[in-house]
Amino acid sequence: MNLKAILIEDESNSREILRNYLKKYCPKVDLVGEAASIKEGLKLINNNDLDLIFLDVEMPFGNAFDLLEQLPERSFEIVFVTAYDHYAKDALNEHAAYYLMKPINIDELIKAVAYVFEVKEKENKLQESVLNSKSKGVSGKLTLPQQDGFQILNVEEILYCKADDNYTEIFLENKKILVSKTLKYFEEALSDFPFARVHKSYLVNVNEVVKYRKGKGGSVVMSNGKELLVSASKKKQFLSFFD
């Protein structure tokens, strides 16, 4: 499997450098087009079934986020390439798979491509086969601290946990429980069970996932019908729970 990719960058010299790096160090990337503007980039995206876009942030007549606003539904991964580190948070919000700083470090470029390749490979396998969870059983108990003591909860009852500042909402089939602990606390407490941190705000019981959707970063549908976002940076970890 190769990654079908395009490059959107307004500086011809930067395009040439990245093009040459990809050809020399990333043979599994098929660069099928280049664009120097948002308009050209949008045309390329609409005319190709893509796996990956290398996207500069600042361009004439707009920026990368203006382009992405026009693409609410997308199945390709994004690697931002920019000379400005202050866009990192916005890139994460747009579910970027990787954030490369100029001048491009070859090792980082190789890591970015390897990450996207692994994610796409896992997604393709999931589409073509019956899901076989590699997760361990969820039999166990969890104590939830409360003002007057603690509550004991069967781990298998938990559908997912949601961050709420320094609190965590624990969602069960028919109710939710608010606990004065961070989501990080529960991520560690449940590390021996099949729970995946799919987003900065969500920790899910993998056995309660009934559907996975590709998209910006992807999303999962839980057994109660709730759809939760999957961050691009968390996608590989989540997909690793399946063959």
* 223 touches 109 (CB < 8 A): no
Q: Is residue 119 part of a domain?
A: yes
Question: What's the confidence (pLDDT) of residue 57?
Answer: 83
Q: Is residue 135 part of a domain?
A: no
Mean pLDDT taken over the chain: 85
DSSP state, residue 39? H
Are 10 and 106 part of one and the same domain?
yes
In angstroms, the Cα distances linking 82 to 10, 134, 226 are 11, 38, 35
Residue 113 pLDDT > 80? yes
Are 148 and 122 part of one and the same domain?
no
In angstroms, the Cα distances linking 85 to 54, 109, 115 are 16, 16, 20
Are 146 and 124 part of one and the same domain?
no
Q: Is residue 114 part of a domain?
A: yes
Are 43 and 109 part of one and the same domain?
yes
* For residues 139-164, average pLDDT: 85
> What span, in angstroms and rounded, lies between the C-alpha atoms of 157 and 37?
50
Question: What's the confidence (pLDDT) of residue 134?
Answer: 47
User: SS3 of 91, please?
Assistant: helix
* Cβ contacts of 240 within 8 Å, gap of 6 or more: 122, 134
- Domain count within the chain: 2
Asked if the peptide bond before residue 103 counts as cis, ω within 30 degrees of 0, the response is: yes
* For residues 31-58, average pLDDT: 92
Residue 130 pLDDT > 50? no
Domain that holds residue 91: 3-128
End-to-end CA distance of the chain: 17
